[in-house]
Every structure is written in C-alpha cells, then in structure tokens.
C-alpha cells in the first residue's frame, strides 16, 4: 500500500535524545542534580516571605489651604488649576479631588508599576514650577505619598485600666524609638487619644480685669521661652559659642512669666490663667475592648484606655523576620520598660499570617507531591515513583531560586503558582518514564541506546506540548491594572517551572530511571500485563471510536450530545445557577466597622456609638478584641490605603477594628461573621442615624467600595438630586448593603461676624481679632517644655476653658486689644457669633465634577453586577430616573448637558481583568495554534488538536455548580491554563499516529494504536493534575482555579480520547495525501509486530 505522507521528523536524534545521551552516563549529572537542589535551598532561605505580592501603585495627596474661601471658591481657584498641572505628569492614571471650605485635597494616582520615589519627584518638580498658578493667600502645598510599604505589618495596642491614654501615648513613643533599632523597620506611628501637655486656660474675666489681650500672654511666653546661639568669641587659643536666654522647664516656670503690669504691680501668667500639666483636651479617643475569646465575666466588653503602635517594613525586607523581631523586642521591653499594669495586645501581625499562609501552602505542596508520587507508584511501580519523587522537588526548588532572582517574594500567589505547576510539571517526567518503560517492555531491551531512543521518541511532542502550556500561561502576565501584579507570578513562575521540567525530564529522568531499573523478570510480568491492557483498549476503541465513524448516526448523536452539553453548561451562568464574581471572599482574622454619623455630630456622640458597637461584637466567642478609633484614623491596611481611611479624623467619624481568632479555631468564616455583624448592628445604626459599613479585607485589589456609581451632570444640584434617587434604589436593592453617598448631612458652623465699621473706629484690625480667637479656641501651642524623662517635648497649649466653648457668647467679654489709655476693646464690641450652613464638599475626578453613591455587595450573589442590575431595574420604575443614562465601561460624554452615571468600584476591576484575560486567552490560542502548525506543517491538524479546549467548559461550569462556588478570575486562569494542558494530550495522540501513518499504517489503525499506547500516560498526567489541584480546593481564593483544572481536565481528557481520533480519521487527508480507508475489524492487527509481548524466558540483550 503506497501512501504519500506529510513531512516527518528526522530519524537522527533530536534535542531530547541528544540531551539524554549527553548526560545519562556522565558523572557530572549527579553534581548538576545537587547544584539544582542547592540553588533551590538558597532561594528558599533568601526569598522574603509575605502574605500578598508587592503592588506599586503610588498615590500622592496634595493638601492646600485657602483661608476664608468657600468650597466653590476653593474648587475654582485652587483645585482646578492644580488638577490641570497634575494631569500633565507622565504616568498619572487618575486625579481625584475634594474641595471644602478653606481646603483642597488633590489625590494623584499613578499607573500600576510606577515607582514611588520617581513619581514623588515628578509631583514636587511640577508643583514648584507652577506655584504662580496658586491664588494669593493659598498655603504652601503639603505633599504626602503613601504606598504598599507604608502599610503597617504589626500593630501593638497598649491598654490599661489604671494608666490614662496620654501617659500611654508617651510610653508608645518610647517603644517606637526602641523598635527603630531593628533592621527592616520603616515608617512607624502611634495612634492615640489625648496627649500630655501644659494647658494654659485663660480666664476672660481676669484678662479683662488686668486689661490684657490673649496675644500679650502668648507673646510673653514665647519671648521668655527662647534660648539660642547668638554668636561666638575667641579667648586666647580657644573658640567659644555664646548662648543666650533660657528654656521654660516646668509648668511652674510658665506661671512665673510676667506678661505686664497693672496699677504698678507685675502681672504673671498665673494671674490670668490656670496652668496645669496632664492630658489635654480630648480631640480623639482610642479604646481597647477585650472579647469573649480571651476574657469572661465583668471584664467582658469593658473598654480600656489605649494607644496603638503601628510599624511598617522597608521595601524588600522579609515581613516574617521583621515581625518576629518586633515581637521579640516588645517582650524584652515588657520586662524592663513597660509597666506591669499596661497590657500589650498584638492586634495585627501580618508576619504571622503570612508565615501561616506560606506554611499551609508548603504543606499542600508536600501533599500534592506525595499524591502524584502515589499515583505513579500505582500505575508504573515504585521505581518510577521514586524517579518522580526526586524530580518534583528539584524543579520546585529551582523555581523558588528563579523567583528570588526575579525579585518575587514567597507569598500566597507565588506559592499557588508552584502548586498549580505540580500537576503539569510532572507531566514531562511521567511521559518520559512511561515511554522508557514501554520501550523496555516491548523490546526486552534496557540498554542505554534503547533508553535514549525512548526519550527521543517522545522528545519533540513533549517539547511542543510544554511550549503550548507556556504559550497559554505567558499572556496572563500582561493583565493590566492592579490585578496584574496579583497574576504576574503565575505565568512567570509557571513558565520557569515548565521550562526547567523539560530539562529535568530529558537529563535527570533517564539517569534516575536507569539507576532504579527493574530486573528482567519484573519487566516480563509487566509486559504481559501491558499486552492484556493494550488488547482491551484496542477492542474498546474499535467498538466506540470506529463504531461512531462507521455508523454515522452514532457519530452525529455523539456530536449533537457534546454540543448540547456545551451550551447547557454555558447557560448555567446565564440562568444564575453558577454565580460570577471577581474573587471569592477570603477567611481573614479581622474585619472593620467604619462609622459615619451625620456631619456635625460631636465626638461624644460618635464615641458612644463606637462603644456600643464594640460592646456588641465583643460578646461573640470568635472575637479576641476590638479597637475603637474615634475622631482619629485607625492603622490602615492596603484596603484603607486605597480608600484613604488614614484621613478620617473628623469628630463624627470612627472605626472599630475587630480582631478574630485564627481561622482554624473557629467554624465560621470571617465573611459569615461580617454578614452577621451587619445584621446585628443595623438597629444601632438606625438609632444614631449613622452609616455603618462592614468592611472586609478584599482578596484582591482594593477599590473605593465594591459598588460605586459615579454621577456626572451640568450642576451640583442636578448631580445631588439624582444621587438621592440612586441612593434610594441602592437601599432597596437586596444585594447591596451599607449604602451611602458623598452628600453630607446639613449642619451649621459658627462664624464670628466682624462689624468692620466699629472695628476700624476702635482701631482693631481683622488680623488681631482672628489671632485672639485662634488663641482662645484653636488650642494653639505657644511653645514647649522639654523634660528629660520623655522622648517628646510637651507643648504649651493656650486656650479658654472648655466651659466657655459650650456657648461662644461667653467669650464676648474677652479683650482683643487694649488701647494706650487702658481701655479694653472686647470681642463683643467688634462683632458677634452667627450660625452659618456648612458648604457641601465638591468632588472631582479627572477634571470633571462628580458625586458618588456607594455600597457593599451582600447576599448570595455578592458580585457587584447583580446589585447593579437590581438598581437599574428599580430606576426604570421612576419616570425621572429613566431619562438618566448609565454606562458600564466609560464616562458619559454629555454630562455638561444632562445627568449621567458610570458604574465603578469592583465592577471596573472585574471587567478590565476579564477583558485582559479574554485577550490573553485569544493570544494564547493563536500562539498554540502557531506552534502546532509549525510542528505538523498544516492547518487542519492544529484545529483538530485544539478542538477539546472549549469542551473543558462542560466540566468547569457544572463543577462550580456542584461545589457551590463562584466562577472567578482564578477560574478563568484555570480555563486558560487548560488550553495548553489539554493540547499536550492531543499532541501525544496525533504525533504517534502520524509516525504510524508514515510507516504505511492506515489512519484508523494508526489512531487505535495511538490510543492504545498513549491512553495510559494521558490518564496518568490528567490524574496528576487532578491530585495537584485537589489540595487547593479548600483555599477560598484559588478554589475556582482548582475546580477548573480538576473538572475541566477530567471531562476534556475523556472527550479528547474520542474527539481527536474521530477528527483525525475524518480529516485523514491532513495526515496523508493518499490514504486508504479500512472498515474491517482491526483489533487483531492493532498492535504492530514489534509490539507483541516477549516470549517467556526471553533474555535481556
């Protein structure tokens, strides 16, 4: 039978055969093996450990004041010019701004990957060269940058029942100065309530009686508290500096300062003010409340005075090592510096959580390795299992070494990439070992040349198959936005693992296989078993595969069934049987309650609500403690960094951080506890008319909030009016909770209205009035004293007693100026206090005015898209709202003419990520197709080889339904990776059959033989992937990928063994140009003559 076949590989040794031949008997192979292990150990020791990958997203806050300006004036005169300047800076992605009375805050967010220092230099340079654009009276810009390395990795809360918060603050400062001795420690700060100070409480009546304005007292103290170098003198051969003046050393010394005279007698500060040392006026509070997980009885739920020390690490430092060093140092300080009645609670330890996560994943790595080894033992014997057991750690360790060289840390994503790799990197070794054994069995020849030929036989398809997997992974490295750094380790480390696995398979595997070569009698028994299995497989494939080819109805039914199954699986997403979400909720040891009372509420009211929240949550057995931060920002995490929680310092703002027990010590997940808290605290929120947000640590990139509507329109009134309508819809939507908007509750401020005519007539300037009021009400520091026992100077705070601040009219008797004749000009003589409505803040994004309505996704369907659909459905019921156009992907262009809105928040990250991953998938398919075309030299075979790729969805989507899991971004990663993994199975079948056809074997016979010889390695590699994936099924973040790999590979492998042979038989012309079809039974001749089992007693040549 003459057949004209397509080009086939040369009979000379290929790359795989040459590599095997070069090292199989070379003693240096052992040294290379040890070198790979040694390099991996170096990487394992040196690579920093942390929980999440480092993400460089520079954010710079620029704060500028314009005293006396309204919010609209600030927006027009300061914010807009500054925004234009910032938009010109290269690398800037977004510019956000908030304009309030007398103050502008502009936040510049750079593209992901931009470095903080160069970005900050750009900002400084652009502002310095454009300060002429700022209006007269504007303050100098305060520029602060925040990045991932500013997030504290350890927080320590000092708390006590007997020591006040001001003393704790001093103690916290001393602890921080000790902690800075530790290498790797970076930014640190103390979050506190009151501070120790010397309070100078002015008496308006006494000042009036002595004819002294407050400015005179401040001036006298400042002049008395002055010591400086005034020059130098040379006396003989020595040079001496000359100092003059003195520092006030105590509160008594402050009281002894003379401020003037009255009726010929000196008047001292103590005559016009009460001076005392201790905690200052309360502007903020920090309260530590022990929970039911650590205490019982009377102490449960009772708050204690507290301060929190927050410590960050330097970029590139090992988070685990730095955190351990901090805690060790604090234990030492507890023995000699921290009093016994001060408790130290570790309220955040990212080093511990990172180490626990890393150790957990390393354990799973170990379990996956043992599972795959056991699989090989059961299918190929213990000797082959030993080979695989040796290969996997070498490849994994070398990949860790590569991670260190590439600058990656050991974190949950990079380790996940290694676990994911186990199921595929072992494929090369399994295929090579299996083929060596198969050739030894068939030919009863275990010589070196036979081993090398066996490696060479599967070399090209193995190389091609490996590169198809790499081609599927690599495009994921180009995902943009903040999801990019999360995904980057997967293609990077997966590619390294796959590339080195090929080297290990061709170099180490043949060498190790010969070292553990079975004796001849074992081979003979295995050969007989192999022959029986091959006979049964041949009969099965002839009955099933060729049966469908010969009987077209069966084939058509099978094809229709596959198509129906495919569309049925896809429809499960459309009909909400399988939910879609960006990333699932993680099980963290914390969550936060962010509290916003109506603007203008007092600190006491806010503290009362925060205390009630802490008391409620502390009763839960899963809660170790709560830390309440009232009127001051809590130590921020990465989520708080992006949301700017570190700027929350208004009296009506608070945050309660809830510390939970370790996830292994509780049955309830942190997400379930957060949901429970939302319901338990709803009544408290309603009672105080407050917005309570239950904020969980996001598993992926943080956003402003999960559901965000950005409202654009021609005027503030139009935007705010629609914001109210949209907020109402948010509150009615079943899958949205914690709804709120950027519109503040109406509140009033006091303003001292100056009667300019009277002031001018009396000779009092506006500046003098403002200065007097600032001294009375602004808690102005007029200097400090410096006790030797503290690490901080103690400020001298001048103010009027708190009792006078309750009613501003009490200040009318305060003199603001004393004339030359001794006449007092009182505050009441030059004006009066009036109430004035506070301006609403003005928000802008990328040069356009905007209003925000936000909420959190809740319920079973927790992806924002479900809540968004519900809101839009509710809006359709309103005739007014129907005219407003919503956008999912871009900002409305006609907002200058009419109101429109755009969905943001987690939705933006979701669609951009899936868009990028879709593009990556398309690029991966093109790359895979190109590789297969290059190998097989035609366009039809690659299409057949890639046919099972979409069929993986038949397993993936129902698998998510069966596991009650959301289809997430990690599920998509699994789907993309399967494209390369499944193709390798197809390549093994087609390459073998092509070689058979080249020898003149009919296509049908060639395909049956291919299935007979390749079913076992295909099933083993598929089961290896199943076992490797199953260990991460319990990981909340990567469960989606595990499900995709596990269910996808099972279904697609079974279909591959039928679809690929049928496709090749149908498209026989792609394998040969002049094929002859045979429809006769072929089982008896399915095996080639040289594949018959050896005779009993055959000797090993």
- Return the H-helix or E-strand segment holding 989: helix 969-998
Cβ-contact 634, 590 below 8 angstroms: no
Could you tell me the pLDDT band of residue 1085, with boundaries at 50, 70 and 90?
very low
**150-192+304-352 has the same fold as 15-46+381-582+911-1091:** no
Average pLDDT for residues 923-948, to the nearest whole number?
Answer: 85
Average pLDDT for residues 692-705, to the nearest whole number?
Answer: 86
Average pLDDT for residues 982-995, to the nearest whole number?
Answer: 81
Nearest to 1058 by CA among 554, 333, 405, 353: 554
Q: Tell me what pLDDT residue 1097 has.
A: 37
What CATH number has the domain spanning 150-192+304-352? 3.30.70.1320
Crossing angle of helices 1003-1030 and 350-380, in 10° steps, is 150
Could you tell me the pLDDT band of residue 679, with boundaries at 50, 70 and 90?
very high
Cβ-contact 928, 471 below 8 angstroms: yes
Q: Tell me what pLDDT residue 897 has.
A: 77
- 381 CB-near residues (< 8 Å, 6+ apart): 518, 522, 526
Query: Regarding beta strands 226-235 and 590-596, do their DSSP bridges make them parallel or antiparallel, or are they unpaired?
Result: unpaired
Crossing angle of helices 766-777 and 214-224, in 10° steps, is 70
Mean pLDDT lowest for which of 156-170, 440-454, 738-752? 440-454
pTM: 0.85
Mean pLDDT lowest for which of 61-70, 90-99, 529-538, 1030-1039? 529-538
Separation CA 115–CA 59 (nearest Å) = 10
> What are the structure tokens assigned to 185, written together?
């420690």
Q: Tell me what pLDDT residue 10 has.
A: 41
Mean pLDDT lowest for which of 147-156, 265-274, 694-703? 694-703
Mean pLDDT lowest for which of 66-75, 812-821, 837-846? 812-821
User: In CATH, what class is 59-146?
Assistant: alpha beta
Separation CA 276–CA 288 (nearest Å) = 27
> What are the structure tokens assigned to 14, written together?
């290929």
Separation CA 204–CA 827 (nearest Å) = 10
**HEC sequence for 1003-1041:** HHHHHHHHHHHHHHHHHHHHHHHHHHHHCCCCCCCCHHH
User: Half-sphere exposure (CA, 13 Å, Cβ side) for 455?
Assistant: 32
- 766 CB-near residues (< 8 Å, 6+ apart): 754, 756, 759
pLDDT value at 528 more than 60:
yes
CB < 8 Å & 24+ apart, contacts of 913-918: 913/479, 913/481, 913/483, 913/582, 913/969, 914/969, 914/972, 916/478, 916/479, 916/480, 916/481, 916/483, 917/476, 917/479, 917/969, 917/972, 917/973, 917/976
Q: Where are the domains of the chain?
A: 15-46+381-582+911-1091, 59-146, 150-192+304-352, 196-226+245-279+748-837
User: Apex CA 834: angle with CA 832 and CA 837, to 5°?
Assistant: 155
Average pLDDT for residues 988-1003, to the nearest whole number?
Answer: 82
pLDDT value at 912 more than 80:
yes
Separation CA 906–CA 704 (nearest Å) = 8
Most confident of 202-211, 476-485, 673-682, 777-786: 673-682
CB < 8 Å & 24+ apart, contacts of 678-684: 678/737, 678/738, 678/858, 680/616, 680/617, 681/593, 681/613, 681/616, 681/617, 684/609, 684/612, 684/613, 684/616
- Return the H-helix or E-strand segment holding 590: strand 590-596
Nearest to 859 by CA among 668, 678, 620, 593: 678
Backbone angles phi and psi of 368, in degrees to 5: -60, -40
Nearest to 360 by CA among 368, 372, 371, 370: 368
Crossing angle of helices 350-380 and 412-443, in 10° steps, is 10
Q: Which residue has the higher pLDDT, 527 or 363?
A: 363
Separation CA 214–CA 203 (nearest Å) = 10
Architecture of the domain defined by 196-226+245-279+748-837: 2-Layer Sandwich (3.30)
The pLDDT mean for the chain works out to: 85
Does the domain at 15-46+381-582+911-1091 match CATH 3.40.50.1380? Answer given as no
Could you tell me the pLDDT band of residue 278, with boundaries at 50, 70 and 90?
confident
pLDDT value at 1076 more than 70:
no
Burial 855-876 (b: 16+ CB within 10 A, else e): bbbbeebbbbbbbbebbeebbe
Q: Tell me what pLDDT residue 1098 has.
A: 37
- 233 CB-near residues (< 8 Å, 6+ apart): 239, 240, 242
Q: Tell me what pLDDT residue 371 has.
A: 84
Q: Which residue has the higher pLDDT, 1090 or 192?
A: 192
pLDDT value at 676 more than 80:
yes
pLDDT value at 771 more than 80:
yes
Place of tokens 């109101």: 899
């Amino acid at each position: 039978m003459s057949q004209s076949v397509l080009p086939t590989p040369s009979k000379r040794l290929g790359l795989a055969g040459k590599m095997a031949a070069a090292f199989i008997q070379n003693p240096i192979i052992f040294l290379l093996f040890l070198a790979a292990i040694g390099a991996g150990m170096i990487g394992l020791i040196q690579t920093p450990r942390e929980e999440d990958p480092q993400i460089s997203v520079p954010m710079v806050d620029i704060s500028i004041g314009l005293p006396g300006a309204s919010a609209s004036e600030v927006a027009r005169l300061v914010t807009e010019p500054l925004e234009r300047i910032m938009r010109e800076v290269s690398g800037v992605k977004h510019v956000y701004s908030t304009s309030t009375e007398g103050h502008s805050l502009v936040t510049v967010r750079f593209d992901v990957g931009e470095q903080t220092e160069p970005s900050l230099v750009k900002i400084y340079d652009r502002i310095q060269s454009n300060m002429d654009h700022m209006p007269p009276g504007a303050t100098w810009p305060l520029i602060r940058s925040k990045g991932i390395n500013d997030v504290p990795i350890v927080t320590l809360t000092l708390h006590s029942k007997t020591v006040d918060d001001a003393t704790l603050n001093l103690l916290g400062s001393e602890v921080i100065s000790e902690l800075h001795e530790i290498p790797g420690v970076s930014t640190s700060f103390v979050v506190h309530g009151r501070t120790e100070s010397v309070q100078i409480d002015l008496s308006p009546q006494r000042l009036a009686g002595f004819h002294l304005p407050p400015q005179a007292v401040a001036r006298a103290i400042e002049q008395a508290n002055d010591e400086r170098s005034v020059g130098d003198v040379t006396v003989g051969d020595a040079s001496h500096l000359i100092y003059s003046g003195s520092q006030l050393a105590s509160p008594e010394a402050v009281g002894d300062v003379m401020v003037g005279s009255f009726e010929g007698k000196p008047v001292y500060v103590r005559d016009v003010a009460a001076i005392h040392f201790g905690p200052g006026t309360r502007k903020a509070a920090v309260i530590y409340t022990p929970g039911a997980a650590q205490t019982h009885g009377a102490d449960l739920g009772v708050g204690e005075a507290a301060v929190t020390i927050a410590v960050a690490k330097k970029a590139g430092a090992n988070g685990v090592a730095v955190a351990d060093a901090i805690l060790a140092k604090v234990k030492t300080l507890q023995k000699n510096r921290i009093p016994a009645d001060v408790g130290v609670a570790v309220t955040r330890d990212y080093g511990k959580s990172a180490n626990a996560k890393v150790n957990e994943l390393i354990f799973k790595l170990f379990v996956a390795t043992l599972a795959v080894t056991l699989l090989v033992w059961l299918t190929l014997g213990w000797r082959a299992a030993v080979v695989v057991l040796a290969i996997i750690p070498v490849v994994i360790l070398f990949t860790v070494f590569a991670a260190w060289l590439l600058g990656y840390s050991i974190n949950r994503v990079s380790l996940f990439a290694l676990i994911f790799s186990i199921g595929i990197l072992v494929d090369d070794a399994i295929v090579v070992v299996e083929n060596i054994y198969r050739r030894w069995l068939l030919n009863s020849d275990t010589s070196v040349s036979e081993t090398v030929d066996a490696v060479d036989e599967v070399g090209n398809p193995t190389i091609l198959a490996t590169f198809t997997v790499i081609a599927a992974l690599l495009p994921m490295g180009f995902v943009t936005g903040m999801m990019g750094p999360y995904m980057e380790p997967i293609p990077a480390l997966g590619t390294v693992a796959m590339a080195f696995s090929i080297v290990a398979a061709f170099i180490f595997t043949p060498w190790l296989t010969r070292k553990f070569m079975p004796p001849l009698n074992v081979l003979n028994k295995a050969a007989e078993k192999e022959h029986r299995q091959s006979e049964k497989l041949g009969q099965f494939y002839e009955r099933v595969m060729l049966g469908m080819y010969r009987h077209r109805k069966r084939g058509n039914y099978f094809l229709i069934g596959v198509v129906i199954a495919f569309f049925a699986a896809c429809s499960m997403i459309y009909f909400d049987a399988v939910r879609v979400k960006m990333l699932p909720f993680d099980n963290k040891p914390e969550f936060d309650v962010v509290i916003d009372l109506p603007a203008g509420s007092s600190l006491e009211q806010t503290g009362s609500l925060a205390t009630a929240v802490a008391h409620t949550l502390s009763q839960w057995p899963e809660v170790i403690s709560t830390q309440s931060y009232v009127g001051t920002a809590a130590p921020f995490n990465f989520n708080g960094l992006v949301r700017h929680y570190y700027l929350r310092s208004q009296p009506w703002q608070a945050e309660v951080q809830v510390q939970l027990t370790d996830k292994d010590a509780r049955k309830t997940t942190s997400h379930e506890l957060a949901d429970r808290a939302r319901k338990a605290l709803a009544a408290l929120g309603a009672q105080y008319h407050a917005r309570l947000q239950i904020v969980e640590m996001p598993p992926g990139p943080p956003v402003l909030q999960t559901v965000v509507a950005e409202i654009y329109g021609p005027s503030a009134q139009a935007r705010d009016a629609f914001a109210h309508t949209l907020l109402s819809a948010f509150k009615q939507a079943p899958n949205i909770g914690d709804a709120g908007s950027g519109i503040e509750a109406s509140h009033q401020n006091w303003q001292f209205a100056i009667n300019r005519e009277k002031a001018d007539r009396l000779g009092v300037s506006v500046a003098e009035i403002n200065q007097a009021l600032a001294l009375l009400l602004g808690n102005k520091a007029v200097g400090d004293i410096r006790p030797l026992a503290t690490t901080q100077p103690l400020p001298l705070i001048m103010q009027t007693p708190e009792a006078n601040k309750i009613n501003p009219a009490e200040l009318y008797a305060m003199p603001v100026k004393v004339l030359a004749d001794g006449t007092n000009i009182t505050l009441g003589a030059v004006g009066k206090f009036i109430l004035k409505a506070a301006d609403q803040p003005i928000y802008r994004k990328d040069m356009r005015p905007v209003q925000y309505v936000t909420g959190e996704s809740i319920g079973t369907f927790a992806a924002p898209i479900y809540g968004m659909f519900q809101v839009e459905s509710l809006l359709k019921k309103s005739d007014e709202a129907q005219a407003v156009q919503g956008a999912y992907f871009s900002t409305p262009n006609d907002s200058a003419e009419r109101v429109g809105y755009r969905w943001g928040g987690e939705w933006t990250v979701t669609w951009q990520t899936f868009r990028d991953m879709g593009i990556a998938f398309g690029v991966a398919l093109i790359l895979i197709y190109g590789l297969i075309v290059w190998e097989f030299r035609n366009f039809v075979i690659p299409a057949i080889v890639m046919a099972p790729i979409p069929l993986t969805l038949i397993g993936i989507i129902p698998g998510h339904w069966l596991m009650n899991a959301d289809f997430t971004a990690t599920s998509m990663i699994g789907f993309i990776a399967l494209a390369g993994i499944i193709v390798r199975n197809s390549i093994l079948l087609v390459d073998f059959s092509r070689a058979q056809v080249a020898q003149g074997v009919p296509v049908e016979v060639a395909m049956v033989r291919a299935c007979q010889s390749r079913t076992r390695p295909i099933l083993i590699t598929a089961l290896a992937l199943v076992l490797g994936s199953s260990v991460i099924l319990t990981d909340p973040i990567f469960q989606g990928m595990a499900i995709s790999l596990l269910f996808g590979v099972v279904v697609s492998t079974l279909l591959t063994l039928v679809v690929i042979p049928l496709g090749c038989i149908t498209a026989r012309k792609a394998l040969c140009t002049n094929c002859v079809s045979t429809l006769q039974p072929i089982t008896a001749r399915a095996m080639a003559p040289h594949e018959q089992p050896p005779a009993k007693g055959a000797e090993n040549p």
